[in-house]
Amino acid sequence: MALASTLPIYRVTYELLQVVTRITKDMPRDYKQSLGNKVREECVELVVLIYRANCSRDKRHHLEELQERLQVVMLLLRLSKDMKLISTGQFAQTVELTDQIGKQSSGWLKFASSPAA
């Protein structure tokens, strides 16, 4: 078992957390406390789920929850863009990262669900 912090999915997810933390600090106060905090909390939970999946024998539950929470992050970021709380460029940056996380988690889930795992 590799250290969770050395996994490519962990690095991309941590980068997403950094980006989200940077872009939410510039939101208006009302949205920073509600929407900004929620998206940051969900990103932290993504990192935690990667750690849990890495340590667990049965990774499927954690990976399925990771994919579900990733959808929530994507929804919150789209809402932030539509409400003009973040720029299109910032949104594009987060979309690139969430796509990478989605692809890597799908591959990991597929492997974890195979008989070889």
- Residue 24 counted as domain residue: yes
Q: Report if residue 26 sits inside a domain.
A: yes
Q: Note whether residue 2 is domain-resident.
A: no
> What angle in degrees, to the nearest 10, is found between the helix axes of 37-55 and 60-82?
160
Structure tokens, 77 = 């970021």
Per the domain annotation, does 1 fall within a domain? no
In the predicted structure, residue 86 carries a pLDDT above the cut 90? yes
Q: How many CA atoms lie within 13 A of 20 on its CB side?
A: 29
- Count how many domains the chain has: 1
In a domain, 66, yes or no: yes
Residue 114 has pLDDT above 90, yes or no: no
Rg (the chain; Cα; Å): 15
Can you give the residue range of the structural domain that contains 60? 8-113
Helix-strand-coil split of the chain, %, nearest 5 = 80, 0, 20
Q: For residue 55, is it within any domain? A: yes
pLDDT tens figures, 2-19: 677 789 999 999 999 999
Written as one letter, the residue type at 55 is C
**In this structure, what CATH number is given to the domain that contains residue 30?**
1.20.1440.60
